Amino acid sequence: MSAVLPPLQIGPLTVATPVVLAPMAGVTNRAFRTLCREAGRSTGFDPGLYVAEMVTSRALVERNPEALRIVTFGADETPRSAQVYGVDPATVGAAVRIIASEDRADHVDLNFGCPVPKVTRKGGGAALPWKKQLFTDIVCAAVTAAEPYGVPVTVKMRKGIDDDHLTYLEAGRTAESLGAAAVALHARTAAQHYSGTADWTAIARLKEEVRTVPVLGNGDVWAAEDAVRMVRETGADGVVVGRGCQGRPWLFADLAAAFNGSDARVRPGLREVADAIYRHGELMIEYYDGDEFKGVRDLRKHMAWYLKGYAVGGDARRALAMVSSLAELREHLDALDLTLGYPGDDAEGPRGRAGSAKTPHLPYGWLDSRDLDAEFEAKLREAELSVSGG
């Protein structure tokens, strides 16, 4: 067996398998990261990089308890990876300094990919790189804050606002010149949201422009074969996996095997899926400091993802999506026909709601200039909301 790619180098960090778990709000908390990491390690190959949910810079600077929980990692998590979102350079710099100086993470990623309307309508997320100087100032502030502590900073972004307002090539070159350790591209525009097909040719174009740091590709990686095809078609140095692993933490076993030249794949029957769901519930309760109801309630949204393609019936699905305790979870899982095997293609492919393309919500006059005026700068402070995506 021979590896598809060499290890991924992000500043001083060496990631043996060039696969990154994308930060997803409400999904990639410590519980889910544990499942993904365990799956990757089960292959005998070194796993990839598992990024925590996004934390807003303002919340972190204000020492919000939930923000601090997000950047609290398990003892077995190494390297520790956090993502920061913000629109004010000073606040982003202060947040990154907290993470680096307090040894809360080994890597910080900056989110410039969020397409959520309530962020973009205030100029944040995927809309922000349109304002060239603001993007430059934020990346510079983060890199400067992290550098004394040896913590690499990376950038995750989209192609741009829409097909007429693309920013990814310029933003990639800027991030590289400012000392970012890698750039990742979700090959969709904000207008696409999660609809349509990711434009992998854009990843190849970015790779041609950014030559001194790794370029990572994101978008439409639903299986290990997709990931391998992406890097071969684009020349990317690794892949970022988001929605493809929802309800399938074992995808990281497939990815670890594939990138190390093995054709081994996990094809779980319903009993194995039920065991994963129950373990996820236990880990969620642990994550919420023993609060059983909160932990199990947070698990509910994962049920449809886990059970995609399995013949369990509507009543069972609805019951599992309403569980309130571990005992109730166990009861409903045990009531399933756990002898059912892997359903094949029905369990594969896209997961979650893709939605449809839509006109991005932007501040009035946002596209009139690449520069940021004082009025817009004041309004941007409102864009630091606890939402994520990219």
Annotated binding-site residue? 280: no
Q: Where do the domains of the chain lie? A: 8-266+358-383, 270-343
What stretches of the chain show up as alpha helix (H) in DSSP?
30-41, 57-61, 65-70, 89-101, 117-120, 132-146, 168-177, 200-209, 224-234, 251-259, 270-287, 292-299, 303-306, 314-320, 326-334, 374-380
Q: Residue 364: what pLDDT?
A: 84
The overall average pLDDT reported for the chain is 93
HEC letters along 65-76: HHHHHHCCCCCC
Q: Which residues contact 50 (CB under 8 A, 6 or more apart)?
A: 20, 21, 28, 33, 36, 37, 77, 81
**30-39, 132-141, 353-362: least confident range:** 353-362
pLDDT tens-place string over residues 168-199: 999 999 999 999 999 999 999 999 999 999 99
Q: Residue 386: what pLDDT?
A: 53
Round to whole Å and give the CA distance between 69 and 288.
9
Annotated binding-site residue? 97: no
Annotated binding-site residue? 242: yes
What stretches of 194-223 show up as alpha helix (H) in DSSP?
200-209
- In this prediction, residues 283-293 reach a mean pLDDT of 96
- In this prediction, residues 380-386 reach a mean pLDDT of 59
Tokens found for residue 282: 């236990």
Round to whole Å and give the CA distance between 82 and 55.
8
Superfamily of domain 8-266+358-383: Aldolase class I (3.20.20.70)
Annotated binding-site residue? 186: yes
Annotated binding-site residue? 1: no
- In this prediction, residues 247-253 reach a mean pLDDT of 97
Q: How many CB atoms lie within 10 A of CB 153?
A: 28
Residues facing 93 on adjacent strands = none
Q: How confident is the model at residue 374 (pLDDT cuts 50, 70, 90)?
A: confident
pTM: 0.94
Residue 16 per-residue DSSP state: S
Active site residues: 114
- DSSP letters, 103-138, are T--SEEEEEE----HHHHTTT-GGGGGGSHHHHHHH
